[in-house]
Amino acid sequence: MTTRRDLLKTAGAVAAAGTVSAPAILRAQSPIRWRLQTYAGPALAQHVIKPSIDSFNKVANGEMVIELYYADQLVPTGELFRAMQRGTIDAVQSDDDSIAAPVDISVFGGYFPFATRYSLDVPVLFNQWGLREIWEEAYGEIEGVSWLSAGAWDPCHFATKDPIRSLADLRGKRVFTFPTAGRFLARFGVVPVTLPWEDVEVAVQTGELDGIAWSGITEDYTVGWADVTNYFLTNNISGAWCGSYFANSERWNALPEHLKELFRLCMDSSHYYRQHWYWGGEANLRVNGEKMQLTSIPDDEWATVEAEARTFWDEIAAESERNARVVKILRAYNETMEKAGRPYRYT
């Protein structure tokens, strides 16, 4: 039997012989800590990222903890890429466009006009049509940041104070939207406005904004925009937002392989959750939502917007050889979906 005296002797011997190894033991017990900032405000983040981060922290079993921060909480969204590159924050969830990623293909992040019709188009394009390899190539040329994964969010619709029933109604409207989407919509008289995400609701109330082209109806209800706008335009310029996860390269490379794999699984979990949350919400709230009246621009008039998008694609393709490759893939993909017919495309 172990006596108290034997126990004290053993403890003393270990202390005398192994004092140098104590710091290593302490380091092993301290979890890896990351700070991850999302583009989304608190209400939206409860759906677009928090469930997956909560799961990660639970399954990591104390080896790693990810602290989640919301839109503009640590760094303004437009400065997220540089902050991550410097190591001020460790990881980001956003689209390439909003965080001013210094790559030519950043224009395809967020809402690239009419690139997609449905949310499933995004993972198919990345995993089966070659966009993943192009994104890896582009970010492989940028020091300090690793692109990890892309997924789909909601479609892009207008939520406005006044009804939109024709293209003429868009003229002069001050609208909160994404950089590339704003660049395209400006062709129809829209005035794109950039604001911190948390200021948008108040800006609509005070008249600084006439509307929002940043989401579908699910987000309008979730974040409170349905409370300050009156109308929802059923026409959209994109069937899905394309967003990604990024990490500081040094921090990502330092992770042990099993934690990298766990993070990949949690990213996939996040992508899957959004697929069904948005898809169900968009239909349910159009039919059963009571806060916004639906309006539409006639199909023949809206067709001119779709035609202009093809001209816009040509202009983007001319900006770089890599952009041209992306546009070529988008054209081939959409042609295939149209030929496939229902349920892939309705013509």
Distance CA 245, CA 273 (A): 15
Same domain, 296 and 215: yes
Same domain, 247 and 324: no
- Is 160 within the bounds of a domain? yes
Distance CA 312, CA 325 (A): 15
Distance CA 233, CA 213 (A): 10
- Is 8 within the bounds of a domain? no
Same domain, 98 and 170: no
Same domain, 46 and 136: yes
pLDDT digits (tens, 9 = 90+) for 266-323: 999 999 999 999 999 999 999 999 999 999 999 999 999 999 999 999 999 999 999 9
Q: What is the dihedral of CA 44, 91, 131, 278, to 10 degrees?
A: -10
Residue 31: CATH number of its domain? 3.40.190.170
- Is 314 within the bounds of a domain? yes
Where helices occur in the chain by DSSP H, the ranges are 4-17, 22-29, 42-48, 50-59, 80-86, 121-128, 131-140, 179-185, 200-206, 217-223, 249-254, 257-288, 299-317, 321-340
Distance CA 44, CA 273 (A): 13
Same domain, 84 and 224: no
Same domain, 130 and 223: no
91 is in which domain, residue-wise?
23-151+242-281
Number of domains in the chain: 2
- Is 309 within the bounds of a domain? yes
DSSP string, 195-257: --GGGHHHHHHHTS-SEEEEE-HHHHHHHTGGGT--EEEEEEEES--EEEEEEEHHHHHHS-H
Same domain, 111 and 167: no
Distance CA 7, CA 92 (A): 50
Same domain, 265 and 123: yes
Mean pLDDT calculated for residue range 237-263: 98
Distance CA 68, CA 73 (A): 10
Give residue 346's pLDDT.
79
Name every residue whose Cβ is closer than 8 Å to that of residue 326 and which is 6 or more positions away in sequence. 105, 108, 131, 134, 317
Q: Report CA-CA distances (Å) from 230 to 55, 150, 158, 290.
A: 37, 32, 11, 10
Give residue 347's pLDDT.
62
Same domain, 210 and 232: yes
- Is 90 within the bounds of a domain? yes
- Is 347 within the bounds of a domain? no
pLDDT digits (tens, 9 = 90+) for 2-51: 444 454 444 444 444 444 444 444 445 699 999 999 999 999 999 999 99
- Is 193 within the bounds of a domain? yes
Q: What pTM was computed for the model?
A: 0.89
- Is 13 within the bounds of a domain? no
Same domain, 194 and 204: yes
Same domain, 211 and 336: yes
Same domain, 221 and 80: no
Distance CA 322, CA 195 (A): 30
| Contact assessment for residue 4 and residue 43, using Cβ atoms and an 8 Å cutoff | no
